[in-house]
Structure 1
Amino acid sequence: MPTRHDNPEALSKFTGSLVRRAQQRHVAVWLNEVSAEITSVQYAALEILHKTPGVNQRQLGDELDVDRSTIADLVARMVRNGLIERSDDPVDKRSYVLFLTADGKKQLASLRPRVEEVERILTARLTQRESLELRRLLLALLPPQE
């Protein structure tokens, strides 16, 4: 029976397959280096709320590029876990504004160096220029931000 290494060209023929495999590697490294409880999307939410406290749920969803039901679930989970708090938006009573809790700030500070280690591991075989080029190319695959 042929192995996946018998035909390396077949493995790299399709961009989607490579992106999927790279994402699987990212998840494995994340679980090993960072956390099984905090996902990379939750970490990104913590970073956004650190930089822009008081954004509303819709704005956070837009920043994370996730749909409304996904952001609602994500926020509810993070509130339950004591990482963020939500309050009524003083401008739009139908909306919530979000802030990091003290635990959320502590968690963010403890995760940052581990997230940087994930980046180092994932790009270890690339030069700095190649890492920047990889990010540029990945961004080019995404739809333009509105």
Structure 2
Amino acid sequence: MPIKHDHPDALSKFTGGLVRRAQQRHVAVWLSEVSAEITSVQYAALEILRATPGVNQRQLGDELDVDRSTIADLVARMVRNGLIERSDDPIDKRSYVLFLTAAGKKQLASLRPRVEEVERILTARLTQQETLQLRRLLLALLPPQP
């Protein structure tokens, strides 16, 4: 039996709750359309490494907006799965530079159309203008980039 709320908009009153619910929907659509093995964060890492091969682990973490331990775990998992390779940074020996492997490039190419389908599903009820406005508003919620 559904819970009755005193106010019909009780669940939509707070932005955080809506963002959380939208994220849950994104995860569900991602799992059904893209992959249960490759997360959306891993996909984003593949796209970043395609565009900027040789970035170091810290730069990748900054681009993905994840902390040092999270990026270390993410990179280790992707190396273990053969999607990326890391080597010592020739400039900073305390750091690693990262590159897509052939398998990573192949995986990225096969995932991209499915990721585009996730985008289509999530924004199906929006006009193109509303989709752009939603992205602009979501970006406004994030801290400014340095």
Alpha-carbon distance, 1:8 to partner: 3.3
Tell me, in whole angstroms, the C-alpha distance in 2 between the residues paired with 1:83 and 1:95.
19
Counterpart of 1:85 in 2: which secondary structure? Answer: strand
Distance 1:4 1:100 in 2: 51
User: Percent of aligned positions with the same letter in both sequences?
Assistant: 90
- The whole-number CA distance in structure 2 between the counterparts of 1:4 and 1:107 is 46
Task: Give the aligned length.
Answer: 146
* RMSD between superposed Cα atoms in Å: 1.3
Deviation of residue 11 (structure 1)? 1.4
- SS at structure 1 position matched to 2:58: helix
**Deviation by residue 1:6-58 (Cα, 9 ceiling, x = unmatched):** 84311110100000000000000000000000000000000000000000000
CA distances 1:50-96 after superposition (whole Å, capped 9, x unpaired): 00000000000000010111000000000000000000000000000
Normalising by structure 2, we get a TM-score of: 0.96
CA distance in 2: counterparts of 1:4 and 1:145, whole angstroms: 42
Q: When the two structures are superposed, what TM-score results if normalisation uses the length of structure 1? A: 0.96
> Relative to structure 1, is the Cα distance of residues 4 and 98 closer, same or farther in structure 2, using a 3 angstrom cutoff?
farther
- C-alpha spacing 1:2/1:39, structure 2 compared with 1 (3 Å): closer
Deviations, residues 78-126 of structure 1 (Å, cap 9, x unaligned):
0000000000000000000000000000000000000000000000000
Counterpart in the other structure of 1:84: 84
- For structure 1, which runs of at least 5 residues remain unmatched after alignment? none
1:4–1:11 contact (8 Å) kept in structure 2: no
Secondary structure of the equivalent of 2:18?
helix
Query: Counterparts of 2:4 and 2:86 in 1: how far apart (Å)?
Result: 49
